[in-house]
Structure 1
Amino acid sequence: MTGTIVVFGATGYAGELAVEALMRRGIRPVVAGHSAARTQAAAQRLGGLEHRLADATDLDSLRALVAAGDVLITTVGPFDHVGHNAAQAAADQGAHYLDSTGEVGFVRTLQDRHDTQARRTGATMLPAFGNDYVPGFLAGAVAIQRGGTTVRSLDIGYFIDGSLRGGKGLSKGTRTTVAEGLSLPVTLWHNHTLVDRRAAATVRSFRIDGRTRTAALATGTEVLFLPREHPQLASVTVYNGWFPEISRLLPLVTALTTTVSQLPLGARALDTVLSRTTGEPGGPDTAERARTRAHTVAVAKDAGGTVLAEVHVVGPSVYDLTAELMAWAGDELAHGRAAAAGVLSPTEAFGLDTLTRACADIGLVVS
């Protein structure tokens, strides 16, 4: 029996893209949101879909969205503020779970709170199943496979081919996550343990298409899962090179925002500033998304620092990529094709070979 797929947040930018991606696969999901008028309007605009109401602050309303074997896809964030109840509802009900978060702290909390319960109820929970951070898992796992048993460290860099045009190519949700991340610690896997560092505390260079591009220390769920799958890894570090024009200034920016956030009234003042700089709701249209492509690289090294493998993964716009990845995974989960229950990584849930083929089908290609 195939489970029902419910998209919570379908009235928003990322949620609507996910619904459209599901429909391209011949799937008619249920759309869900907290506003009756907006949810009904979205359901009609997207093809006369079934719609249901739920509120991110009301756990019972979220539990009512899904039953055992169903799939809850949620794009409602910021996740550390409003995402916990949706994850709890899925774990309680034995429903599979997907989200579009880029917040590693949120994913760590899901691991701590829900992994045991999800395994008991049969729920497969796949947080950050979009450009955050499936391409990094794919590139990293292939690099480890190619590099062999002596791989000890993995550096993963996220880049954009094309220009974000001063932020015009970013959604409000992405701008909010990036802005809030300036004052939040970054988690990395270092000497076989998780440690926290200041965001952008270091800058690293990668070779992309024959030229050197810089990227700053950033957050990524690869550090939480890849060492579990590959115990030989002593370090996993993630970098972001989306903003090359300011990458070398980011250490100073994050040092300043971190200091301000720790001062009396500083956090409140910082929140006020950030709320005014993230812009209007929505995101880039089809034409704007076509200006950019996602480009992720993984570099595997041995204990002495010798490069053993370098893998590049290139695909469509980060927003189209996220929608297509969630649609594919939602379909797989609805048909019961995950390898296990619990809070899992993409490779733990589907295996590297299946993930590689599925990514290639949606245009995310390994080289």
Structure 2
Amino acid sequence: MSTRIVLLGATGYTGSRTAEALVARGARPVLAGRDPARLGALADRLGGLPTAPADVTDPASVRALLGAGDVLVTTVGPFLRLGDPAVEAAVAAGAVYLDSTGEPPFIRRVFEDAGPRAVTTGAALVPAFGLDYVPGTLAGALALVEAGDRAHRVDIGYALDGTSGQAFSRGTLVSLAGVLLEPGFAFAGGRLREEAAGRRVWRFEAAGRPRRGLSVGGAEHLTLPGLAPGLREVGVHLDWFGALTPVAHRLAPLAPLIGRLPLARQGAQRLAAVVGARVGEAPSQRTLAQARTRTVAEVRDRAGAVLSRVELAGPEPYGLTAELLAEGATHAAQHGLRDVGALGPVQALGLDALTAAATAAGLHRT
């Protein structure tokens, strides 16, 4: 594998799991991060990998990691606050970029701001290449192919089973707190529109059980419309919050109003810091041992009749994210990507290659 893969944030929880998944595929990534001692220990454990110092608070150190054609994988979050230096470094170098973000405002910023500039430098930016939001993109793309040209609306539902104790990593919880008051969005009426997260609830079935998913501004709103010219509506929904789902739904209309108050967003960032100080770095061991993901896509025609349905099952979220990032990075290093600019997973790899990568990462159709 001659193309360099650089892993930024290698010593964090998701980063170290991604490093392991890359090595398991025969890659020798450059491990990059702030702490030389922790980088060295991880590099030694994984067979003497190269390391490089880099800190996103020093953008020049991140730019120094990359050359043209390199593949950068970053797990450094929260992305809305810390993600821009890696994106800018990839754009400047003309590199391939993949990340683990699930933060809708950041994903939208990559597509609308960095994407056009990436086209001019030959960079390829593929954000949210993990549980957020590869399974929904893949399920949606497969369902759209099966539905044909009558597709009018696609709904995506994410479900998580088998959690016990701490369900999410510290990084995920900090990211969720940090975007509470940020503007949301949805693809509706054939265009991207502002819409608060949690404004809608979608009832769907996964693994034979009824689910309630809260609406969010997932990457699918930005990536699926390009796959089906007649598509007019996209819904993305998370069934992750259990008994809190109806409460969050009722409070959703207040978020945009609160977000306009002076210092409200700074308050959300302080809340994120408090959350980060009080939870463990990783989910509980029982969650890691038992949790499973389910993702459903349903396509409807203009009258609301279901045209196609795809359900995917996968392993626990963090292992799945690490495996998907490793699959995406090694594919980019070996074969390149299909286009430049800001890309969805299907636009970047092609549907057949994405399906193969997802299968290798542990996703399968049920």
Say yes or no: TM over 0.5. Answer: yes
- Alpha-carbon distance in structure 2 between the residues aligned to 1:298 and 1:214: 14
- 1:8-41 Cα distance to aligned partner (Å, 9 max, x none): 0001111101000001111121100123333333
CA contact (8 A) 2:292 2:315 kept: yes
Q: Which residue of 1 aligns with 2:249?
A: 251
- Alpha-carbon distance in structure 1 between the residues aligned to 2:269 and 2:121: 38
The equivalences for 1:313-332 within 5 A come to: 313-332=312-331
Once the two structures are TM-superposed, the CA of residue 210 in structure 1 deviates from its matched residue by 2.6
Once the two structures are TM-superposed, the CA of residue 258 in structure 1 deviates from its matched residue by 4.6
Q: Which residue of 1 aligns with 2:274?
A: 276
- Alpha-carbon distance in structure 2 between the residues aligned to 1:197 and 1:350: 30
Q: Which residue of 2 aligns with 1:217?
A: 215
- Alpha-carbon distance in structure 1 between the residues aligned to 2:63 and 2:258: 39
The equivalences for 1:233-312 within 5 A come to: 233-256=231-254, 258-278=256-276, 279-280=278-279, 282-284=281-283, 288-312=287-311
- Alpha-carbon distance in structure 1 between the residues aligned to 2:105 and 2:236: 15
- TM normalised by structure 2 equals 0.94
Q: Which residue of 2 aligns with 1:343?
A: 342
Once the two structures are TM-superposed, the CA of residue 202 in structure 1 deviates from its matched residue by 1.6
SS class of match (1:173): helix
The equivalences for 1:89-108 within 5 A come to: 89-108=89-108
Q: 1:177 aligns with which of 175, 178, 181?
A: 175
Q: Which residue of 2 aligns with 1:53?
A: 53
Q: Which residue of 1 aligns with 2:66?
A: 66
CA contact (8 A) 1:215 1:241 kept: yes
Once the two structures are TM-superposed, the CA of residue 238 in structure 1 deviates from its matched residue by 0.6
- Alpha-carbon distance in structure 1 between the residues aligned to 2:215 and 2:265: 22
Cα 1:84–1:5 change in 2 (3 A) is: same
Q: Which residue of 1 aligns with 2:39?
A: 39
**2:362 corresponds to 1:363:** yes
**2:101 corresponds to 1:114:** no
Letter paired with 2:18:
A
Q: Which residue of 2 aligns with 1:11?
A: 11
Letter paired with 1:153:
R
Q: How many residues were matched structurally?
A: 365
Cα 1:355–1:45 change in 2 (3 A) is: same
CA contact (8 A) 1:182 1:253 kept: no
- 1:132-161 Cα distance to aligned partner (Å, 9 max, x none): 100011110111111111010011111112
- Alpha-carbon distance in structure 1 between the residues aligned to 2:263 and 2:347: 43
- Alpha-carbon distance in structure 2 between the residues aligned to 1:330 and 1:322: 12
CA contact (8 A) 2:177 2:271 kept: no
- Alpha-carbon distance in structure 2 between the residues aligned to 1:322 and 1:135: 10
Cα 1:113–1:201 change in 2 (3 A) is: closer
Once the two structures are TM-superposed, the CA of residue 103 in structure 1 deviates from its matched residue by 1.5
Once the two structures are TM-superposed, the CA of residue 100 in structure 1 deviates from its matched residue by 0.5
Stretch of structure 1 that moved more, 350-359 or 245-254 = 245-254
Once the two structures are TM-superposed, the CA of residue 290 in structure 1 deviates from its matched residue by 2.3
- Alpha-carbon distance in structure 1 between the residues aligned to 2:352 and 2:146: 13
- 1:231-269 Cα distance to aligned partner (Å, 9 max, x none): 211010111101122111112344455544433344444
Aligned-pair identity (%): 41
CA contact (8 A) 2:105 2:182 kept: no
Letter paired with 1:365:
H
Q: Which residue of 2 aligns with 1:157?
A: 157
- Alpha-carbon distance in structure 2 between the residues aligned to 1:287 and 1:265: 38
**2:190 corresponds to 1:192:** yes
SS class of match (1:185): coil
Cα 1:117–1:255 change in 2 (3 A) is: closer
SS class of match (1:40): helix
- 1:80-137 Cα distance to aligned partner (Å, 9 max, x none): 2111111111111111111001112212222233323433333222111000100011
Stretch of structure 1 that moved more, 303-312 or 281-290 = 281-290
**2:226 corresponds to 1:228:** yes
Q: Which residue of 1 aligns with 2:145?
A: 145
Once the two structures are TM-superposed, the CA of residue 212 in structure 1 deviates from its matched residue by 1.4
SS class of match (2:310): strand
- 1:323-346 Cα distance to aligned partner (Å, 9 max, x none): 001101101111233212221111
Cα 1:33–1:360 change in 2 (3 A) is: same
- TM normalised by structure 1 equals 0.94
- 1:179-201 Cα distance to aligned partner (Å, 9 max, x none): 23332232110001111111111
Once the two structures are TM-superposed, the CA of residue 357 in structure 1 deviates from its matched residue by 1.9
Once the two structures are TM-superposed, the CA of residue 319 in structure 1 deviates from its matched residue by 0.6
Cα 1:70–1:272 change in 2 (3 A) is: closer
